[in-house]
Every structure is written in structure tokens, then in C-alpha cells.
């Protein structure tokens, strides 16, 4: 049946039946607790409650999982999403620059990556790899932790002259927690003080056993400066990606994650988004976290305007009414009314949480005074 009762829906969301009925009323649907509603309405409600709908069949609405399931025959291969992690100054941005034959690092203030950048590299073979750069500063641990969750493969950059450092260990832990395969890039091998074997030894102490030591972790000696080993690094990434059989449905409404977002003078809210499934198009209505907007323009990682962005493509999105948060999920919805409904609900929830928080605070104050 393409229906679900109000009670069952409430159960699956772990919400009160009465609250579901109220939400239905706000949508103009009058229903009792035992009444059936169709799956489209159910999905709306699920989103309204801040859950993600997961439609297994037309009739089946699961809760708390991402999107609805695509059919196998709709899936096509997609590029791997690779997050570059490592200790401060070990050469993450330089390595990406070398791979892109561009020079982002030199344009950064003080040479420290201040945000998560996202780029796509097109190889001579025609294969593409999507890279996410992460800042090495300790304060960005949180963001980096999030990075690991959109990631198919982690490239762990370790400077051959410096070895395994605290943030190297942190990155290993994030990658392991997210169960993402790690490829080691032993960087700065052009330096006279480079000791790649010492790096392998140190990695061993953290449970990463490279091939030369009888393990299955791929490692490459590279230099962002001379370009040494870069082709082998790309080869290893593609090898790893092949094993993962990465696929997505490009022909559906887009979903993905906000990698970063900022307010720019003259451009308004600019959000870098990574499309995970579907194709994002100019004119689409996007909900990202508690913000929404109609996509006014899409700009690729080379600064060019594009009409659309498919799976595993990072793209700058212009047109949101405000800036969402890094790590927010986004999805395309069918109407402005729907977008408003969802974001107003989320903003209300946020306000309620804040009010509850401050109420708790003032109660504690009171008890202290008694
Ligand atoms: P954060 O973003 O601050 O964490 O640093 P990062 O890991 O992105 O390092 P970045 O690419 O900014 O490089 C740090 C310094 O190391 C710069 O001065 C680079 O020129 C230098 N460097 C990076 N790769 C190499 C390399 O392969 N060889 C040599 N000799 N220097 C390198
Ligand atoms: Mg950097």
C-alpha cells in the first residue's frame, strides 16, 4: 500500500502522534491518529520534523537516513572524493596545487589554509578526482572530522623531514573512525633531511602498515616542489577508488553537503557545496541546513560559471538567502513554499533549543542563589 498511518509514522520518527497531527494540520491535512496518509505527505512530515526521509519502496518511509534509495540501473560511476589531511605545514595545499598545476597556497594569507577548499583534477586518462583540502590548524579539528564523512579516500600527508606529528595522529584517528581507506603521501622528499623510512616506522606505531612492511596501506614518496611521485599518487587513488566501485545517480534532484559558506561583498551568500547524488542546476530551489534559496549561479573550482554540477563535483552556489554552516546537508526541493516550510521549521527548532538552553541556565542561576 502507498500509505502509512499517522501513528506508525510517528513511531518511526520517535515523535508524539499529537505533534504529527498538528504538523499535518499546518499543512492543511486533517487526520486522526489511525488514519492513512500517502507517502508524499509522510515524507514532507518527516522532513518537517528534521529527519531525513528514506523511501525503500513507494510505501515504505524510513526515518533518519539520507534521501530515498536509488535503483541500481540508475547508478553511474562517479569520481572519488579525496580529503587531504595532515599536520600543519606538511604540504597539503602545495600538493593539491601541484596536482592542479595552479597556485592557491601562495595566495593564502600567511600560507595557512583558512577554510576547506574543494577542487577537481582531470587526469590525462580522462579520470577525475575530487579533492578536499583541510586546514592544518588545531582549531579546525571539528571541520576536519566532518571532512572525513564526505570522503571516500583520505590522503594523509606526512612531511619526510618532520615525521608523524600530533595532527597526523589526529587525522589517522578521524579516518579510522570514518572507516575510510588511507593513502600515505610522504611529502618533501626533495629535502636533504628527508627520512621516508623513519616516517613508515612511525606510522607502524599507529597501526598503519605500508606495503613494503608487509601491510596493505599504499604509500608514495612525493614532492610538491619537484612533482616527484604525483602520477603514482593519482594512480594509487584511482586504484583505491576502483575497489570501492563508487557510483551515484546523476539523474535526480541534487543532494550533498556544504563544505564551506561565507558572505561576500557584492555576491551575497557564497556556499561551496559538494554534490553527492543527482545534478544541481541553476534555477534549482535548494535547502541547506536552515537556509534556502534559488540557485542564481554556479561557479566551478576554476572560477567559471557552469549550468549544472553532477555527483562528486564541488561547486560554489550563489543565491541562498543566508549562509548555511559547513557540514550542513543540502537538498533540492520542488517549490519555494516547501523550502520555506522546511527552513522555518528548522529555525524554529533551533530557537526552541536555544530557549531551552537559556532556561536551563537561568534555573541553575536560581538554584545557586537559593
Ligand atoms: P596548512 O594548510 O597550514 O596546514 O599547511 P599545508 O599542509 O597546506 O602546507 P603548505 O602547502 O602551505 O606548505 C607549507 C610549507 O611547506 C610551504 O612553505 C611550502 O612551500 C613547503 N612545501 C610544501 N611541499 C613541499 C615539498 O614537497 N618540498 C619542499 N621543499 N617544501 C614543500
Ligand atoms: Mg594548507
- In this prediction the ipTM stands at 0.98
- What is the C-alpha to C-alpha distance for residues 146 and 97, in angstroms, rounded to an integer? 23
111 lines ligand 1 (CB under 6 A): yes
Q: Residue 116: pLDDT band by 50, 70, 90 thresholds?
A: low
Which residue carries 594569507 as its cell? 109
Query: Across all residues in the chain, what is the average pLDDT?
Result: 83
CA-nearest residue for atom 31, ligand 1, is 188
51 is an annotated ligand-binding site residue: no
368 is an annotated ligand-binding site residue: no
Residue 342 in contact with residue 333, Cβ under 8 Å?
yes
pLDDT at residue 322 is higher than 90: yes
Residue 295 in contact with residue 268, Cβ under 8 Å?
no
CA-nearest residue for atom 28, ligand 1, is 188
* Distance in Å, CA 89 to ligand 2 centroid: 7
CA-nearest residue for atom 23, ligand 1, is 91
- What is the C-alpha to C-alpha distance for residues 240 and 149, in angstroms, rounded to an integer? 17
Cell of 106: 601562495
- What is the C-alpha to C-alpha distance for residues 107 and 112, in angstroms, rounded to an integer? 10
Direct distance between the N- and C-terminal alpha carbons of the chain, in angstroms, rounded to an integer: 59
**pTM, rounded to two decimals:** 0.76
pLDDT tens for 49-102 read 766 555 544 444 433 334 455 677 788 889 999 989 999 999 998 998 888 876
Share of the chain above pLDDT 90, in %: 39
Nearest to 175 by CA among 239, 85, 95, 80: 85
Strand 308-309 and strand 285-288: the pairing is unpaired
The C-alpha R_g of the chain, in whole angstroms, comes to: 23
Residue 126 in contact with residue 196, Cβ under 8 Å?
no
pLDDT tens for 121-167 read 888 788 899 998 876 544 445 555 555 467 889 999 999 999 999 99
Residue among 104, 106, 111 to mutate when testing ligand 1 (max atoms within 8 A of CB): 111
91 lines ligand 1 (CB under 6 A): yes
Amino acid at each position: 500500500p502507498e500509505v502509512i498511518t499517522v501513528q506508525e509514522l510517528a513511531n518511526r520518527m520517535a515523535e508524539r502522534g499529537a505533534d504529527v497531527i498538528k504538523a499535518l494540520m499546518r499543512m492543511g491535512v486533517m487526520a486522526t491518529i489511525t488514519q492513512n496518509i500517502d507517502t508524499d505527505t509522510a515524507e514532507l512530515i518527516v522532513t518537517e520534523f528534521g529527519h531525513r526521509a528514506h523511501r525503500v519502496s513507494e510505501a515504505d518511509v524510513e526515518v533518519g537516513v539520507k534521501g530515498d534509495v536509488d535503483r541500481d540501473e540508475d547508478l553511474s560511476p562517479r569520481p572519488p572524493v579525496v580529503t587531504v589531511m595532515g599536520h600543519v605545514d606538511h604540504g597539503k595545499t602545495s600538493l593539491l596545487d601541484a596536482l592542479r598545476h595552479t597556485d592557491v597556497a601562495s595566495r593564502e594569507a600567511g600560507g595557512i589554509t583558512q577554510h576547506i577548499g574543494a577542487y577537481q583534477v582531470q587526469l590525462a586518462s580522462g579520470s577525475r578526482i575530487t579533492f578536499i583540502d583541510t586546514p592544518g590548524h588545531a582549531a579546525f579539528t571539528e571541520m576536519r572530522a566532518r571532512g572525513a564523512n564526505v570522503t571516500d579516500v583520505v590522503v594523509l600527508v606526512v612531511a619526510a623531514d618532520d615525521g608523524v606529528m600530533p595532527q597526523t595522529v589526529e587525522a589517522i584517528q578521524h579516518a579510522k573512525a570514518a572507516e575510510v581507506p588511507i593513502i600515505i603521501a610522504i611529502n618533501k622528499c626533495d629535502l636533504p633531511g628527508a627520512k621516508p623510512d623513519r616516517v613508515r616506522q612511525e606510522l607502524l606505531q599507529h597501526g598503519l602498515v605500508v606495503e613494503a612492511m608487509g601491510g596493505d596501506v599504499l604509500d608514495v614518496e612525493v614532492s610538491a616542489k619537484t612533482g616527484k611521485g604525483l602520477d603514482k599518487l593519482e594512480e594509487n587513488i584511482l586504484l583505491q577508488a576502483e575497489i570501492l566501485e563508487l557510483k551515484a545517480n546523476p539523474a535526480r534532484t541534487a543532494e550533498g553537503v556544504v563544505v564551506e559558506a561565507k558572505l561576500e561583498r557584492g555576491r551575497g551568500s557564497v556556499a561551496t557545496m559538494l554534490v553527492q547524488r543527482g545534478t544541481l542546476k541553476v534555477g534549482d530551489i535548494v535547502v541547506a541546513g536552515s537556509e534556502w534559496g534559488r540557485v542564481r549561479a554556479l561557479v566551478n573550482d576554476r572560477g567559471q560559471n557552469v549550468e549544472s554540477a553532477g555527483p562528486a563535483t564541488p561547486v560554489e552556489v550563489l543565491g541562498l538567502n543566508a549562509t548555511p554552516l559547513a557540514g550542513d546537508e543540502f537538498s533540492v526541493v520542488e517549490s519555494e513554499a516547501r523550502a520555506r516550510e522546511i527552513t522555518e521549521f528548522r529555525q524554529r527548532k533551533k530557537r526552541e533549543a536555544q530557549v531551552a538552553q537559556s532556561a536551563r541556565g537561568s534555573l541553575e542561576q536560581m538554584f545557586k542563589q537559593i
